[in-house]
Amino acid sequence: MPANRDSGAAAVATIVIVIVLVLGFLSLGGPSSQRLRQADSKRIMDLRVLAIDVNARWNASHHVLPSSLEEATAPMPPPKDPVTGSPFEYRILSTNQYELCSIFATDTQRENYQGSRLGPHPKGHYCLQFDATRPVEGFDGIYP
């Protein structure tokens, strides 16, 4: 009789473990979805660094925005998309406002980014707007 109870307990434990694993994959996604999220995190980090470079160039050039990302990051080349290798988009909107754009692999608009507007983004082409007169949100003063 104890052998039947032990095998029943083992079966229940196995079922519980399988359910926990399935729920974990459903809530976090599998390895491929985690790779997409990591690539998007890298994109956001690169856009932050680019915004800091643009703001620094704006401050150093008597409040004139750089004409390109190459000018903003000179003498180093600007970072590129971590997956496709294509350049990020940069558009000047006014004398001190601009946007940086990328194509994101995931939709993170429902996630909590503790008030930072640089975290949430939809899947697909999306632009973040910046003002060179203001510090870049989400930047703590240390380059990633």
Q: In the chain, where are the structural domains located?
A: 35-131
Tell me the helices (H) and strands (E) count for the chain, helix number first: 3, 3
3-state secondary structure of 39: helix
* Pair 78, 87: CB distance under 8 Å: yes
Residue with tokens 């994959």: 25
Examine the pLDDT at 118 and tell me if it is beyond 70. no
pLDDT at residue number 104 = 94
Residue 143 has pLDDT above 60, yes or no: no
**Which residue did the predictor score with more confidence, 98 or 121?**
98
Query: pLDDT, tens digit, for every residue of 54-112?
Result: 999 999 999 999 999 999 999 999 999 999 999 999 999 999 999 999 999 998 877 65
Residue 141 has pLDDT above 50, yes or no: no
Closest CA to 107 of 127, 87, 121, 91: 121
pLDDT value of residue 142: 40
CA dihedral 93, 58, 87, 112 (to 10 degrees): -80
- pLDDT tens digits, one per residue of 16-66: 676 766 655 555 567 777 888 889 989 999 999 999 999 999 999 999 999
Specify the pTM.
Answer: 0.73
